[in-house]
Amino acid sequence: MITRVETLSPQQNTENLIACSGCDLLYARQDLQVGEFARCDRCSQVVQTCKPLSIDRSLAAVLAGLVLLLISLCLPFLSLSRSGIESTISVLDAVVSLWDSDMRWLGLMTLGFIVLLPLIRLLLLSWVLWSIRFEHKARQATRVAFRWSVQIEPWAMADIFMVGVVVSLVKISSLANLEAGLAFWSLLALVGVMVIVQMTLCHDTVWNKLEERT
């Protein structure tokens, strides 16, 4: 049972407190067993977790995500053919096309939300989790990197991009012959991998490990 903190005193150590992300109610941090989690008694939001093998599983998923993202950027994404004319496009080709079509803001947003932010988040997570897994000394930069990876998460929109692509494919499938390239399936797999990262990554475990290695 997680303990609610009703009032704060000036002498109270706030490092052992945790706020519910749903309603901001304060709780005292508990020592959970592996596999246990605590919910807010006011809004039922998960407040604290202790997921099994979080570091190893998350690191494996993040490294797989990096490989899939690089594949999706380097290989053809879609091929379209009609009346003997065939065209192949990659994700980066789409950004260049938007830029050349005077839709530069859209091109920059596509580059940022679909390519740069997911790549930065995966690189930050891989650095933090690698440092913890192989017991490197935690530096201030490591903690800042993990904090930024959490802040970037809502803006890394590869999943939203794939939803838009699927909707577009349904609309133009009657106008031309479409063939999904390896980059399409890699980006689709990346969306699944990021779901796995979300399920296996335990923020409380990461912060505790970073504090232990300070």
pLDDT digits (tens, 9 = 90+) for 20-48: 878 888 887 788 888 888 888 888 888 88
Q: Check residue 162 and give its pLDDT.
A: 78
Helix and strand totals (H; E) in the chain: 8, 8
The CA-CA-CA angle for residues 4, 23, 158, to 5°, reads 125
Give the DSSP H or E segment for 3.
strand 3-4
Q: Check residue 11 and give its pLDDT.
A: 52
Residue range 88-93: average pLDDT? Answer: 83
Q: Check residue 165 and give its pLDDT.
A: 75
Structure tokens at 89: 């496009």
Q: Check residue 121 and give its pLDDT.
A: 93
pLDDT: which is higher, 201 or 48 = 201
pTM here?
0.81
DSSP string covering 141-195: HHHHHHHHHHHHGGG--HHHHHHHHHHHHHHHTTTSEEEE-HHHHHHHHHHHHHH
Domain segments of the chain: what residues? 3-49, 54-212
Alpha-carbon distances, residue 150 vs 21, 37, 173 (angstroms):
13, 19, 38
The average confidence (pLDDT) of the chain is 82
141: pLDDT confidence band, cut at 50, 70 and 90?
confident
57: pLDDT confidence band, cut at 50, 70 and 90?
very high
